[in-house]
Amino acid sequence: MVVRCTLSAVGLLSTLYGPTCLYAWLTVPGLLKRRWLDVLEDLLADLDRGMQHSMPAGGAAVTYSKPRLANFWYYARVELVPPAPAEIPKAIEGATNIIKGFQTGRLGQTTVKDALRNGLVATEVLMWFYIGECIGKGGIVGYNV
């Protein structure tokens, strides 16, 4: 019973909760804006649902994933779009702001909370490089030469 619970929890967290708001997880601003109680509640609701019945299969998967897909697109259309060409100068401006802040010493005044948050966002941005590498090499683990 315990093993079944843990297995279903692990499987569910990667499949049920994933499509629900995958990028609200991965996109740090989306996750941090939510109340942690709501996040916990969603996780427990998924666990509960999973323990009642096993994974959906076949046609049921389509009806199952439709609302989750809609939810995913609801967030992705705003948070995951590539930058419009007009936004690129703003991005360069933001980068120069950071460099200036570093030079004036203003960056020394950031709070720990802000520093952690920025570190997390920077890590997420860097991880996209590895996703690109996986796409470029045509595989997830290792190079299939």
Q: Which residues bind other proteins (CB under 8 A)?
A: 24, 27, 29-30, 33-34, 71, 74-75, 77-79, 81-83, 87-88, 90-91, 94-95, 121, 124-126, 128-138, 143, 145
Nearest-approach distance from CB 94 to other proteins, in angstroms: 4
The Cα 39–Cα 31 span in angstroms is: 8
- Residues whose CB falls within 8 Å of the CB of residue 120, separated by 6 or more in sequence, listed in order: 28
**Contact yes or no for 10/51 (Cβ under 8 A):** no
- Residues whose CB falls within 8 Å of the CB of residue 49, separated by 6 or more in sequence, listed in order: 12, 16
Nearest-approach distance from CB 5 to other proteins, in angstroms: 28
Q: Which is nearer to other proteins, 57 or 93 (CB)?
A: 93
Q: Which is nearer to other proteins, 3 or 125 (CB)?
A: 125
